[in-house]
A and B are shown apart, each in its own frame.
Chain A
Amino acid sequence: MNVSGERTFAAPRDAVWKVLNDPASMAKTMPGVQSFDIHDAERWTANVKIPLGLGGLKMQIDMNKTEERAPEFAKLQIKGKGVGAMLNMETSFELSDADGGTAMKWAAEVKLAGPVGSMGQRVLQPIVNQQVEHVLSALDREVQAAVAGGA
Chain B
Amino acid sequence: MTSTTITPERVESDAPAATQKGQNVPRKEDRRLVQGEGIFVDDVKRHGMGYIHFVRSPYAHAHITSIDVSKAEELPGVYGTLTGEEVASLTEPFFQLAREPASHLQDYALAVGKVRFVGESIVAVVAETRELARDASELVEIEYDPIAPIVDARMAQGDAPVLHDDAGTNVMWEGSFEWGDLDAAFAEADKIIKIDELHFHRFNSTPLETNGALAEFNRGTGQWTIHCNNQFPGFAAIMMGPALRCGIDKLRFVTQDIGGGFGNKITTHPQLVVCCLLARKLRRPVQWTEWRTDFHMSMSHANERWFLDTEVAVKNDGTLLGFRTKALDDTGAWLRYEPLGCIIWSQVAPGMYRWRNIRVDFTQVATNKAPCSPNRGYSRMQHLWFTERVIDIVAHELDLDPVDVRKLNYVRSDEMPYETPNGCVYDSGDYARMLDLGLELVDYANIDARRADAKARGKLLGLGIGSTLDSGTNNFAQSQLINSDLQFSGNNEVATVKLDIFGEIVVTLGTVPQGQGHETPTSQVVSDILGCSVDDVQVRAGHDSYWNSHAGFSGTYASQFAVTGLGAVKGAADLLAAQIKRLGSAVLGAPIEALELAEGSVRIKDNPEVALPFMACGAIINANNAGLPDDLEDVTLNCRYVYKPPFQVPDLERNFGNLTLTYATQIHVAVIEVDPETGYYDIVDYAAVDDCGKRINPRIVEGQVMGATALALGAATWEIYAYDEDGNLLTPNFYDYHVPHALDMPPLKTADIESPSPFTPLGTKGMGEGGGAGIHAICAAVQDALRGNGDAIVADSHNPYHKVWELLEHPAEAGGHVSVVNA
- Interface residues in chain A, defined as those with a beta carbon under 8 Å from any beta carbon in chain B: 83-86, 88, 111-115, 117-119, 121-122
The answer to the question of B732 belonging to the interface, with a C-beta cut-off of 8 Å to chain A, is yes
A111 to B59, CA, bound (A): 11
Asked if B293 and A115 make an inter-chain contact with CB atoms under 8 angstroms apart, the answer reads: yes
Chain B residues lying within 8 Å of A111, measured Cβ to Cβ, are 726
A88, closest chain B residue (CB): B146
The answer to the question of B730 belonging to the interface, with a C-beta cut-off of 8 Å to chain A, is yes
B59, closest chain A residue (CB): A113
Question: Which of these, B59, B144, B146, B732, contacts A118 with CB under 8 Å?
Answer: B732
Q: Give residues of chain B (245-273) contacting chain A, Cβ–Cβ below 8 Å.
A: none
Asked if B58 and A113 make an inter-chain contact with CB atoms under 8 angstroms apart, the answer reads: yes
Chain A residues lying within 8 Å of B119, measured Cβ to Cβ, are 115
| A86-B144, A88-B146, A111-B726 given; A117·B58 CB < 8 A | yes
A selection of 13 A-B contacts at a CB cut-off of 8 Å is: A111-B726, A112-B728, A113-B59, A113-B146, A114-B58, A114-B59, A114-B118, A115-B293, A117-B726, A117-B728, A118-B728, A118-B732, A119-B732
Asked if B60 and A113 make an inter-chain contact with CB atoms under 8 angstroms apart, the answer reads: yes
B729, closest chain A residue (CB): A118
The answer to the question of B535 belonging to the interface, with a C-beta cut-off of 8 Å to chain A, is no
A111, closest chain B residue (CB): B726
Question: Which of these, A88, A113, A121, contacts B118 with CB under 8 Å?
Answer: A113
A30 to chain B, nearest CB (A): 22
Question: Which of these, A84, A86, A114, A121, contacts B724 with CB under 8 Å?
Answer: A121
A83 to B56, CA, bound (A): 11
- What are the nearest 10 A-B pairs in CB distance? A114-B58, A113-B58, A86-B58, A118-B732, A83-B138, A117-B728, A118-B728, A118-B729, A113-B59, A121-B730
A117, closest chain B residue (CB): B728
A118 to B736, CA, bound (A): 10
| A83-B138, A121-B728, A121-B730 given; A115·B146 CB < 8 A | no
Among the interface residues B57, B58, B297, which one has the most CB atoms of the partner chain A within 10 A? Answer: B58
Asked if A85 and B58 make an inter-chain contact with CB atoms under 8 angstroms apart, the answer reads: yes
A116, closest chain B residue (CB): B58
Chain A residues lying within 8 Å of B726, measured Cβ to Cβ, are 111, 113, 117
Among the interface residues A83, A84, A111, A113, which one has the most CB atoms of the partner chain B within 10 A? Answer: A113
B119, closest chain A residue (CB): A115
Question: Which of these, A84, A86, A119, A121, contacts B59 with CB under 8 Å?
Answer: A86
The answer to the question of B23 belonging to the interface, with a C-beta cut-off of 8 Å to chain A, is no
Chain A residues lying within 8 Å of B59, measured Cβ to Cβ, are 86, 113-114
The answer to the question of B733 belonging to the interface, with a C-beta cut-off of 8 Å to chain A, is yes
A60 to chain B, nearest CB (A): 11
A64 to chain B, nearest CB (A): 15
Chain A residues lying within 8 Å of B60, measured Cβ to Cβ, are 113
Chain A residues lying within 8 Å of B735, measured Cβ to Cβ, are 119
A84 to B138, CA, bound (A): 8
A122 to B56, CA, bound (A): 22
Chain A residues lying within 8 Å of B732, measured Cβ to Cβ, are 115, 118-119
Chain B residues lying within 8 Å of A113, measured Cβ to Cβ, are 58-60, 118, 146, 726-728
Chain B residues lying within 8 Å of A86, measured Cβ to Cβ, are 58-59, 144
B740 to chain A, nearest CB (A): 20
Chain A residues lying within 8 Å of B724, measured Cβ to Cβ, are 121
Asked if B138 and A118 make an inter-chain contact with CB atoms under 8 angstroms apart, the answer reads: no
A117 to B56, CA, bound (A): 13
Interface string of B142-182 (1 = CB under 8 A from A): 00101000000000000000000000000000000000000
A136 to chain B, nearest CB (A): 26
B138, closest chain A residue (CB): A83
B116 to chain A, nearest CB (A): 14
Chain A residues lying within 8 Å of B138, measured Cβ to Cβ, are 83
Question: Which of these, A84, A119, A121, A122, contacts B58 with CB under 8 Å?
Answer: A84
Asked if B118 and A122 make an inter-chain contact with CB atoms under 8 angstroms apart, the answer reads: no
B320 to chain A, nearest CB (A): 43
Interface string of B721-756 (1 = CB under 8 A from A): 000101111101101100000000000000000000
A86 to B146, CA, bound (A): 11
| A113-B60, A114-B58 given; A122·B297 CB < 8 A | no
Asked if A122 and B736 make an inter-chain contact with CB atoms under 8 angstroms apart, the answer reads: yes
B143, closest chain A residue (CB): A81
Assuming A111-B726, A115-B732, what are 6 further A-B pairs, CB within 8 angstroms? A83-B138, A85-B58, A113-B60, A118-B729, A118-B732, A121-B728
A122, closest chain B residue (CB): B736
A113 to B146, CA, bound (A): 11
Chain B residues lying within 8 Å of A118, measured Cβ to Cβ, are 118, 293, 297, 728-730, 732
A118 to B119, CA, bound (A): 11
Chain B residues lying within 8 Å of A121, measured Cβ to Cβ, are 724, 728, 730
Chain B residues lying within 8 Å of A114, measured Cβ to Cβ, are 57-59, 118, 728
A111 to B146, CA, bound (A): 12
A142 to chain B, nearest CB (A): 32
Chain A residues lying within 8 Å of B736, measured Cβ to Cβ, are 119, 122
Among the interface residues B138, B727, B728, B730, which one has the most CB atoms of the partner chain A within 10 A? Answer: B728
Interface string of B550-564 (1 = CB under 8 A from A): 000000000000000
Q: Give residues of chain B (674-722) contacting chain A, Cβ–Cβ below 8 Å.
A: none
B617 to chain A, nearest CB (A): 61
Asked if B733 and A119 make an inter-chain contact with CB atoms under 8 angstroms apart, the answer reads: yes
Chain B residues lying within 8 Å of A115, measured Cβ to Cβ, are 56, 58, 118-119, 293, 297, 732
Chain A residues lying within 8 Å of B57, measured Cβ to Cβ, are 114
A101 to chain B, nearest CB (A): 37
Chain B residues lying within 8 Å of A117, measured Cβ to Cβ, are 58, 118, 726, 728
B56, closest chain A residue (CB): A115
B708 to chain A, nearest CB (A): 29
Interface string of B53-69 (1 = CB under 8 A from A): 00011111000000000
A118 to B732, CA, bound (A): 7
A49 to B729, CA, bound (A): 24
B727, closest chain A residue (CB): A113
A85 to B144, CA, bound (A): 12
Chain B residues lying within 8 Å of A88, measured Cβ to Cβ, are 146
Q: Give residues of chain B (27-58) contacting chain A, Cβ–Cβ below 8 Å.
A: 56-58
A86, closest chain B residue (CB): B58
A107 to chain B, nearest CB (A): 17
A113 to B117, CA, bound (A): 11
A115 to B732, CA, bound (A): 8
A90 to chain B, nearest CB (A): 13
Chain A residues lying within 8 Å of B58, measured Cβ to Cβ, are 84-86, 113-115, 117
A88 to B60, CA, bound (A): 13
B291, closest chain A residue (CB): A115
A88 to B59, CA, bound (A): 11
Chain B residues lying within 8 Å of A83, measured Cβ to Cβ, are 138
A113 to B728, CA, bound (A): 6
A115 to B203, CA, bound (A): 18
A119 to B296, CA, bound (A): 12
B387 to chain A, nearest CB (A): 34
B747 to chain A, nearest CB (A): 32
A88 to B58, CA, bound (A): 12
A140 to B60, CA, bound (A): 38
Chain A residues lying within 8 Å of B146, measured Cβ to Cβ, are 88, 113
A119 to B728, CA, bound (A): 9
Q: Give residues of chain B (123-147) contacting chain A, Cβ–Cβ below 8 Å.
A: 138, 144, 146
A1, closest chain B residue (CB): B724
A88 to B62, CA, bound (A): 13
Chain B residues lying within 8 Å of A122, measured Cβ to Cβ, are 736
A113 to B293, CA, bound (A): 15
Chain A residues lying within 8 Å of B727, measured Cβ to Cβ, are 113
B469 to chain A, nearest CB (A): 36
A121 to B729, CA, bound (A): 10
A114 to B59, CA, bound (A): 6
Chain B residues lying within 8 Å of A85, measured Cβ to Cβ, are 58
A95 to chain B, nearest CB (A): 30
A118 to B726, CA, bound (A): 10
A131 to chain B, nearest CB (A): 20
